[in-house]
Structure 1
Amino acid sequence: MPELRTTDLCDAHGNAVRIIAPMFQDYGGRRLFNGPVSTVQTFEDNSRVREALSEPGDGRVLVVDGGGSMRCALLGDNLARMGHDNGWAGVVVYGCVRDAAELAAIPLPVKGLNTHPRRSEKRGEGERDVPVSFGGISIRPGEYLYADEDGVIVAAEPLDLPG
């Protein structure tokens, strides 16, 4: 199976892809990932993130709309390890992560805005598999996300490279 690089997919598919504004840093032990999207929308509460990553990922990408909060982390090494063990393809967090050194050793791709040492609250708040919007685009559950060192793109249908 060929590596699906965001640059090549953008060149091949033009307007069929939506590009998230460049804002993410790479924290996981891998950087190239793709898969169908599952979403969590929350603010400073990672209860739904834990809930999602504790379930079989089946190659999906978890997109977490944390409202861009810079006051706590929504994902750390324990949740990343859980996500890897449960077959998630990667995690994109519109918010902060923590345990950066440990995340780098876990073979789950993780993108986040920055790091923060404080953990989030656990109030059981947030929604799963709802449309989310950040970085200039909207993302719906079931769409396809592709990410690497060059960025994050989303398409309504799975993409491939010609030839």
Structure 2
Amino acid sequence: MNDRARGHSSATLSEASGLDIVLSPRLRPVWSGARLCGPAFTVQGAGGDNLALHHAVPHAPRGAVLVADFEGAAFGHWGEVLAVAAQQRGIAGLLIDGGVRDTAELEALGFPVFSRNNSILGTRKDFPGVFGKPVVVGGVVVRPGDLVVADVDGVVALPSADIDQILDRADARVAKENEFMEQLRMGRTTLDLYDFETTGR
């Protein structure tokens, strides 16, 4: 499943889904080329307090993406230390509605992180967090096991019950677009191929 999803962009999956699965465009990769793909391990944290992430790392299954609601808070909830710990556990990456730090170090590690902001403000260590419950990240409800795909264009969260159907439609969409590309290279126009209205107003 993950291998199939990795072959598609966030835009293709969004268009193929027909669902409201697109997270806020304010959630951006912290380094160029970062990409996420994996099932969500959900984390409810508290803005300005990163103890939940310290607890999440040893509890998340290998291959999971940590999907964390930190209320959009501009604090350095995640950095190099947690990224190294996460890599050793086989965690696929982090999607956080909140801030992170150490972006150069995260890039050097090759650990993919998508966040709402970057911040060097320090954090408390009081709230242990809640795991395995639906969270709201980027304005969308993400549930445990939903498939998170993120790239330079955006972030989507595919509902676990619909993943196979969405991937089937994405495969078909890509095949059709490849045919269109060949037609365009032969001189056809997008107006012809998409059967758009050709007369101006």
TM-score class, shorter-chain normalisation, is 0.7 to 0.9
User: In structure 2, do the counterparts of structure 1 residues 28 and 56 end up closer, same or farther at CA, with 3 Å as the change threshold?
Assistant: farther
Q: Is the 8 A contact 1:39 1:131 kept in 2?
A: yes
Q: Determine the C-alpha separation between the residues in 2 that align with 1:142 and 1:63.
A: 10
Match runs of 1:7-26 below 5 Å: 7-15=11-19, 18-26=21-29
The TM-score, its normalising length taken from structure 2, stands at 0.73
Given candidates 38, 42, 57, the residue that maps to 1:39 is: 42
What is the TM-score normalised by the length of structure 1? 0.88
Structure 1: unaligned runs, 5 residues or longer: none
Question: Aligned partners of 1:58, 1:4: CA distance in 2, in Å?
Answer: 22
d(CA) in 2 for partners of 1:101, 1:32: 16
For this pair of structures, how many residues does the alignment match? 161
The letter of the residue matching 2:65 is V
Are 2:83 and 1:80 aligned? yes
What are the residue-to-residue correspondences of 1:35-114 with 2, within 5 Å?
35-43=38-46, 44-55=48-59, 57-70=61-74, 72-114=75-117
Q: Give 1:75 shift.
A: 0.4
Q: SS state of the match for residue 103, structure 1? A: helix
Q: State whether structure 2 residue 166 is matched by structure 1 residue 162.
A: no
SS in 1 for 2:24: coil
Partner of 2:182: none
**2:141 aligned residue (138, 141, 160):** 138
Q: Is the Cα contact below 8 Å between 1:145 and 1:155 reproduced in 2? A: yes
Distance 2:44 2:154 in 1: 21
| Larger helix share, 1 or 2 | 2
Query: Aligned AA for 1:123?
Result: D
Return the alpha-carbon distance in structure 2 between the equivalents of residues 137 and 45 of structure 1: 22
Uncovered stretches (5+) of structure 2, i.e. residues with no partner = 173-201
Would the aligned equivalents of 1:57 and 1:83 in 2 still touch at CA under 8 Å? Answer: no
For residues 134 and 62 of structure 1, the distance between their equivalents in structure 2, rounded to whole angstroms, comes to: 11
Larger radius of gyration, structure 1 or 2? 2
Higher relative contact order (CA 8 A, sep 6+): 1
Letter in 1 for 2:107: A
The structure with more strand, counted as a fraction of residues: 1
1:64-108 deviation line (CA, Å, top 9, x unaligned): 1001112x2110011011112211111011110011111111122
Return the letter of the residue paired with 1:131.
P
Percent sequence identity is 30
Is the CA contact 2:28–2:154 (under 8 Å) kept in the aligned structure 1? no
**Displacement of 1:11 after TM fit?**
2.8
Cα separation, 2, equivalents of 1:109 and 1:29: 10
